[in-house]
Amino acid sequence: MRASNSGAILSLFLHYLLAVSASTTQYPSTVVDGDSIVQYIATSAIDAPKVSTINATSYDYWYFDAVSLDHEYSVVAVFYAAPKTSFPFLPKNQQILAAQISVQTPGAVTINTTYATAATLTVDDINNDIEGTWEGIGAAFTGTRNMTLYNVTFESEEQLGVSGFASFKSIAPPHYVCSPAEEGANMELLPHVGWANAIPDAHAIVELEINGTRVSFSGVGYHDKNWGDAPFQDAVTSWYWGHARVGPYSVVWFDAIASNGTEYASGYVARDGQILGIACGTDKAKVRPIGNTTYPPHTESNTPDGFQIEFDLGEDVGVFEATAKAEALALQSQTGVYSRWTGGISGGLRSEGKVFNGTSLFDQFALTS
Ligand SMILES: *[C@@H]1O[C@H](CO)[C@@H](O)[C@H](O)[C@H]1NC(C)=O
Ligand SMILES: *[C@@H]1O[C@H](CO)[C@@H](O)[C@H](O)[C@H]1NC(C)=O
Ligand SMILES: *[C@@H]1O[C@H](CO)[C@@H](O)[C@H](O)[C@H]1NC(C)=O
Ligand SMILES: *[C@@H]1O[C@H](CO)[C@@H](O)[C@H](O)[C@H]1NC(C)=O
Ligand SMILES: *[C@@H]1O[C@H](CO)[C@@H](O)[C@H](O)[C@H]1NC(C)=O
Ligand SMILES: *[C@@H]1O[C@H](CO)[C@@H](O)[C@H](O)[C@H]1NC(C)=O
Ligand SMILES: *[C@@H]1O[C@H](CO)[C@@H](O)[C@H](O)[C@H]1NC(C)=O
Ligand SMILES: *[C@@H]1O[C@H](CO)[C@@H](O)[C@H](O)[C@H]1NC(C)=O
C-alpha cells in the first residue's frame, strides 16, 4: 500500500512538474537532415510549432498583419523557420530563420528580410502564453493566454531598419480550416499545407520607425501560421487568401488549388466575438477574381481588380457575400508569382439585404506560367 501510495504521489508530483513546465522549441539556423514530424491534427496550442525539426523540404512560419482603416497603410511581419528549398520566395540564403517586414505607405512598399542565428519558441503549457524570439536581430512576438493579446516587437535598426511594435487585441475566435479551434480538428488546408488562424480579426495598433520615418496607425489586424512537410511550390498551384472587417463582420477566406488540380476552400465569418459560421469545401466557399483576368491565375495573368467572395454558412445564417477591391499594392514579386493588396470591401449577409463597407488585406499566389 505504502509503495503504491508513494508511487501515486510521485506520479502526481511529476504531473505537476510537467504541467507547470513550458515547452521550448529551439531552432538552429540551418536545416536538420532527416524526417520532420509534422502535425495536421490539432493536439497542442494553436500557435505551437507544428514541425519537429526543419529539413530541406519542410517549413513552419508565423504571420502577422495590420491594415489601416483607410487601407493606405499596412504592415506585414513574418517569422520563418523555412529553407529556400521549401519556401522559395525568401532571399537566397543557406539560413532558415528569416524575419521579414513589409511596410506599405501611400505610393510605396518596402520589404526587408534578415536572418537570425537561432530562434526559440516557448509555449507555456498551462495557459498557452507564447513567445517567439528570433535571436540577435531584435525581432520577437508574444501572445497572451487564450490568444487575446499579441505583440510583435522590433528593435532592429541595424538589421531591418525598423523599431517599434504592432499589437493585436483579438475580436474574433480562433479557428482551423473547417472548425473552431478545438482539439482533434483538421488543420490541413490542402495536402502538405497546414493552417492555424489564432487571430482572424483584431484591433491593431502599429507604431514603427522605419529608416527614420514614423509609420503609425490603428486598424484591422490578423495573425495565423502555415507549415508543411513538402515544398510549398510542389504542393500549391495557386491560392487566394484574405481577411477583412466588414461592418460588424470579421471575415477570412482561402481558396486554393493543390498540385493535382483539386480546389480547396474555406470561409469564416464572426460577429460580436462569436463564430457565425465556417463554410467548408468548394461547394460552400468560393473566391473568384474580378476584372479582366483569368481563373485559375497564372504568372502572366492580368492583375485582378479584386475578388468576389461567397460563403454558404448553412440554413440558419445563409449566404455571406462580399467584393474586395485591390486598391493598393502591399507587395508584389517581380515574377508575378505573388501579389498582396489592400482595399475596401463591401458585403454582408444576403438574407439581411444590408451592404456594409470595410477594410481588407488579401493575397494571391500563382505558381504556374
Ligand atoms: C523531411 O521530412 C518529411 C517528413 O515529414 C519527409 O517526407 C521528407 O522526405 C524529408 N525531407 C528531407 C529532405 O529529408
Ligand atoms: C482570456 O483571458 C483573459 C485573462 O485571463 C480573460 O479575462 C478573458 O475573459 C479571456 N477571454 C476569453 C474570450 O476567453
Ligand atoms: C507592445 O510592445 C511595445 C514595446 O515593448 C510596448 O511599448 C507596448 O505597450 C506593447 N503593447 C501591448 C498592447 O502590450
Ligand atoms: C534593410 O535594413 C537595412 C538596415 O537598416 C538597410 O540598410 C536597408 O536599406 C534596408 N533595406 C530596405 C530595402 O529597406
Ligand atoms: C528605406 O531605405 C531603403 C534604402 O535607402 C529604401 O529603399 C526604402 O524605400 C526605405 N524605406 C522607407 C519606408 O522609407
Ligand atoms: C488530388 O489529391 C487528393 C488528395 O490525395 C484527392 O482526394 C483528389 O481526388 C486528387 N484529385 C485529382 C484530380 O486527382
Ligand atoms: C483583357 O486582357 C487582354 C490580355 O491582356 C487584352 O488583350 C484585352 O484587350 C483586355 N480586354 C479589355 C476589355 O480590357
Ligand atoms: C460604401 O461605399 C460606397 C462606395 O464608396 C458608397 O457609395 C456607399 O454609400 C457606402 N455604403 C455604406 C453603407 O457606407
pTM for the model? 0.92
Q: Which atom of ligand 4 is nearest to the CA of 159?
A: 4
Integer Cα distance of 18 and 4 in angstroms: 21
What pLDDT, on the 0 to 100 scale, is given for residue 12? 44
Read off the amino acid at residue 57. T
CA distances from residue 19 to 26, 46, 64, 245 in whole angstroms, order as listed: 20, 18, 29, 37
Cα(144) to centroid(ligand 2), Å: 10
Residue 211 near residue 231, CB atoms below 8 Å: no
Atom of ligand 1 nearest to the CA of 34: 14
pLDDT of residue 212: 86
Of 347, 306, 307, the closest CA to residue 328 belongs to 306
Dist. CA 67–CA 104, nearest whole Å = 9
Q: What's the CA gap between 192 and 179, in Å, rounded?
A: 19
Please give the distance of CA 362 from its chain centroid, rounded to a whole number.
Answer: 11
Q: Do residues 336 and 302 touch, judged by C-beta distance below 8 A?
A: no
Which of 112, 113, 158 to mutate for ligand 4's pocket (most ligand atoms within 8 Å of CB)?
112
Q: Measured between alpha carbons, how far is 361 from 223 in angstroms, rounded to an integer? A: 12
Q: pLDDT at position 21, please?
A: 65
Ligand approaching nearest to the C-alpha of 191: 6
Q: Give phi and psi for 202, each to the nearest 5.
A: -150, 155
Residue 294 CB less than 6 A away from ligand 7: no
Residue 146 Cα to ligand 2 midpoint, Å, equals 6
Q: Measured on CA atoms in the order 79, 82, 87, 91, is the torsion positive or negative?
A: positive
**Which ligand is nearest to the Cα of residue 303, counting in written order?**
7
At 222, list the grid cell: 490578423
Q: Which residues line ligand 6 (CB under 6 A)?
A: 191, 260-262
**73 Cα to the center of ligand 3, angstroms:** 20
Which residues form the pocket of ligand 2, taking CB atoms under 6 Å from any ligand atom? 145-146, 148
pLDDT at 22: 82
Is 302 close to ligand 7, i.e. is its CB under 6 Å away?
Answer: yes
Q: Amino acid identity, residue 122?
A: T
152, 130 contact by CB (below 8 A)? no
Strand partners, 51: 38
Look at residue 10 and give its three-state secondary structure: helix
For residue 90, give every residue at least 6 positions away whose Cβ sits within 8 Å of its Cβ, in sequence order, or none.
80, 82, 84, 98, 100, 113
Rounded-to-integer distance, Cα 162 and Cα 155, Å: 7
- The residue nearest atom 11 of ligand 4, judged by CA position, is 112
Amino acid at the residue 361: L
Predicted pLDDT of residue 168? 98
Q: What pLDDT sits at residue 7? A: 47
What are the DSSP calls for 20-82, one per residue?
H-EEEEEE-SS--SSPPPB--B--S-TTS--BSS--TT-EEEEEEEEEETTSS-EEEEEEEE-
Q: How far is the CA of 267 from the centre of ligand 5 (A)?
A: 36
User: d(Cα 242, Cα 66) in Å, to the nearest integer?
Assistant: 12
Separation of CA 142 and ligand 2 centre (Å): 16
Question: 292 CB less than 6 Å from ligand 7?
Answer: yes
CA-CA distances (angstroms) from residue 274 to 162, 268, 278, 295? Answer: 35, 11, 11, 33
Q: What is the pLDDT of residues 136-172, one digit of tens each?
A: 999 999 998 766 899 999 999 999 999 999 999 999 9
pLDDT of residue 256: 98
pLDDT along the chain (369 residues), means of 10: 44 46 91 96 93 96 98 98 96 95 95 96 86 97 86 96 97 97 97 98 97 95 98 98 98 98 98 97 98 96 97 97 97 93 98 96 96
> By the 8 A CB rule, do 142 and 125 touch?
no
CB-hemisphere CA count at 13 Å for 140? 14
Distance 183 CA to ligand 5 centre (A): 44
129 CA from centroid of ligand 3 (Å): 16
Superfamily classification of domain 23-366: AttH-like domain (2.40.370.10)
Question: Do residues 347 and 322 lie in contact, with contact meaning Cβ atoms separated by under 8 Å?
Answer: yes
User: Please, what is the end-to-end C-alpha distance for the chain in angstroms?
Assistant: 73
